[in-house]
Structure 1
Amino acid sequence: MKKVTLKKAQLEVTQIGLGTNAVGGHNLFNNLDEEQGKEMVREALNIGITFVDTADVYGFGRSEELVGQVIKGKRSELQLATKGAVEKLADNTTRINNRPEYLRKAVENSLKRLETDYIDLYYLHYPDNETPLVEAIGELSKLKKEGKIGAIGVSNVNLEQLTEANEHEEVDVIQSPYNMLDRSAEKDLLPYTRAHNISFVPYGPLAFGILGGKYTPSLNLQEGDWRKDEALFQPETFKDVLHKVEQLKEMAHAKNAGLSHLALAWLLAQDGIDTVIPGGKRADQVKDNAIADTLTLSVQDLARIEKILNQ
């Protein structure tokens, strides 16, 4: 697997990583098989993927526990990212909490669940719109100096929030939505991260499954599936998206690749993108995503993709 270095973070990672929101993320997906999820993580490590991304809100700690079980004894072989800021309250409701004392507690709890004494990359998962972001990042900076986290990230922020969080140039990585079908990051976030040497890690690189190429107009998401609220899955938008998907599938087929490979390779070809973290539920999906590591797109390929996406 090809490796890259995340700029300011100075983390060497595989350019194809692994997102684990479906590993124990029972609050996000229905009918998850935990053993299947653990096997997916094992397979990722077996094929050489060294960048694993999770969060304390995935299953309210369960994803971290399962990932921790799998990586036990292999910790030095990978770079581990997790996120915090979602506090579960006594009545089982949640709130976003960026207060320094809460973030410290969240990091300590993640370390225990992951069965490790350090986290390579720790993200502030969401801004709470109350705590000054410079204070939240300041606490993560202290944890970094203590050796509990290696690099500081922020997620789900707009340009104004990112600028505030990075007041002292302490943000190393940002994680935000970006894929062929959602290019809003190109407007202001990507220009900022490139200018400040911040690594941009796209989430939802396969547009939450749409760029896997298997969805049809009859797709019916179950109640409780978080994708029901995503703009791309709204009826009229979804119909238009599938039209583009069919053309992209034809292009991928001509290159002896799948649509997901084309989508991931396209992201890696964008200025400022070093690594991607596609998720999945099964080991075979990880093996399939890894094929994108071998696919290189020419200038002509990128121009053709641009034409399809701009229809």
Structure 2
Amino acid sequence: MSKQTRIGKTDLYVNPIGLGTNAIGGHNLFPNLSEDTGRDVLRTALEEEINFWDTAFIYGPERSEELIGEILKETGKRENVVLATKGAHKFIDGKVVLDNSPAFLKNAVDSSLKRLQTEYIDLFYIHFPDEGTPKDEAVGALKELKDAGKIKAIGVSNFTFEQLKEANKDGYVDVLQSEYNLFKREAELDLLPYTAENNISFIPYFPLASGLLGGKYNQESKFDDGRAQSPLFQGQEFVSNLQKVEEVRTIARRKNADVADVVLAWYLTRHSIDVLIPGAKKPEQVTRNLKALDVELTMDEIAEISAIFA
């Protein structure tokens, strides 16, 4: 059995390397996705005992949840997987609107249960905060669903520090999911200290900074997707970022590992980061992500990586 870690104060135990599934049926996020390949990614995750799967209503929309439900039914492995999904988006006249109202969240959970073909969701997140709903009121609705057995743990995603404190007024928040990587470390100012202090698990998304921390790009690399608009991938900043990645590669070579392995291993040394959810578009990437668990960083190496990206 693979190594298992506990997610914060929940009763959920998972492989520290999970699976982000926005490329499984996320046709609105990625062009030319093959659903058959997506199904193979999920089957490979099961074979490799990667048992924490992160999805959302808006991936597809709906299609990622449907494909996961299909594979878990096909394999009969629902009990082997800790399922996390998210809700907050709805469509009005073709436009996406955010809704955190208790009535909406309860309906969102019921709809996700159907698509996932399951009787419970292990972790349900409010995907984005809306402008009107008091955050503790929204979380209170999820607490009712938790008491009813429909969900096992409560998460919030993309909440600011102030919104997180309001959401956790009654101590019900189990998990925060937020953007965090070596290039984007603002969470260290307030979110990470707060989650550590309150035994809330912090799950970073974009841990490899859209592939930049994977160590596969050079100055000749060209991008025709959202990365082309990101400052990380533009001009002199891109050149500087590549130099930082090369410094990590020096450490990776000492470890007989790849850059991505070392980067993911560094996150797992952060207090309150229990599990990571790197994505995968191909089955071999699922297996690849697991290599991070073989990397043991010394205190000096942890400090060295931190200094490179100070």
Q: Give the TM-score, by structure 2 length.
A: 0.95
Within 5 Å, which residues of 2 pair with 1:70-149?
70-72=71-73, 73-89=76-92, 91-149=93-151
Contact 2:8 2:272 in 1 (8 A): no
* 3-state SS of 2:210 partner: helix
Give me the whole-angstrom Cα distance separating, in 2, the residues matched to 1:40 and 1:21: 12
The equivalent residue for 1:181 is 183
Q: Distance in 2 between matches of 1:271 and 1:19?
A: 21
Corresponding residue of 2:223: 221
Aligned residues: 307
Identity %: 50
Counterpart CA distance in 1 for 2:140 and 2:303 is 42
- 1:10-68 CA deviation, whole Å, 9 max, x = no partner? 21111010000111111111111111111111111101111111001001100101111
Give the equivalent residue in structure 2 for 1:51.
52
The CA distance in 2 between the partners of 1:189 and 1:231, in whole Å, is: 23
Q: Distance in 2 between matches of 1:25 and 1:108?
A: 21
Partner of 1:305: 305
Code of the residue aligned with 2:308 in structure 1: it is I
- The residue aligned with 1:197 is 199
SS in 2 for 1:207: coil
Paired with 2:136 and 2:189, the residues of 1 have a C-alpha distance of: 24
Q: How large is the Cα RMSD of the aligned pairs?
A: 1.3
In structure 1, the gaps of 5 or more residues are: none
Unpaired stretches in structure 2, ≥5 consecutive residues: none
In 1: Cα distance, 2:229 partner to 2:77 partner: 37
Q: Distance in 1 between matches of 2:145 and 2:97?
A: 22
SS of the equivalent of 2:123 reads strand
> Any conservation in 1 of the 2:28–2:59 contact (CA below 8 Å)?
yes
| Whole-angstrom CA distance in 2 between matches of 1:148 and 1:231 | 41
Alignment map for 1:27-66 (pairs within 5 Å)? 27-66=28-67
Code of the aligned partner of 1:194: A
* Structure 1 residue 308: Cα displacement: 2.0
8 A contact 1:29–1:226 mirrored in 2: no
State the partner residue of 1:12.
13
Distance 1:131 1:226, change over 3 A: farther
Q: 1 CA distance for matches of 2:227 and 2:166?
A: 30
Q: Secondary structure at the match of 1:169?
A: coil
The offset of 1:270, in angstroms, is 1.1
Displacement of 1:108 after TM fit? 0.9
> 2 CA distance for matches of 1:113 and 1:107?
10
Deviation at 1:163, TM superposition (A): 0.3
**What is the match of residue 168 of structure 1?**
170
Distance (Å, rounded) in 2 between the aligned partners of 1:114 and 1:22: 16
Deviation digits for residues 193-236 of structure 1 (CA, Å, limit 9, x no counterpart): 111111111111111211111122333332xx344454423434
Q: Check whether the contact 1:122–1:149 (CA below 8 A) recurs between aligned residues.
A: yes
Q: Which residue type is aligned with residue 26 of structure 1? A: H
User: Hey, what does 2:274 align to over in structure 1?
Assistant: 274
- CA spacing shift, 1:226–1:82, aligned 2, 3 Å: farther
CA distance in 2: counterparts of 1:20 and 1:68, whole angstroms:
12
Q: 1:250-261, aligned counterparts within 5 Å?
A: 250-261=250-261
Q: Could you tell me how far apart the structure 1 residues matched to 2:184 and 2:293 are?
A: 22
Moved more, 193-202 or 209-218: 209-218
Corresponding residue of 1:23: 24
User: C-alpha distance in 2, partners of 1:119/1:229?
Assistant: 35
For residues 162-208 of structure 1, the C-alpha deviation after alignment (integer angstroms, 9 at most, x for no partner) is: 00000110100000111222111111001101111111111111112
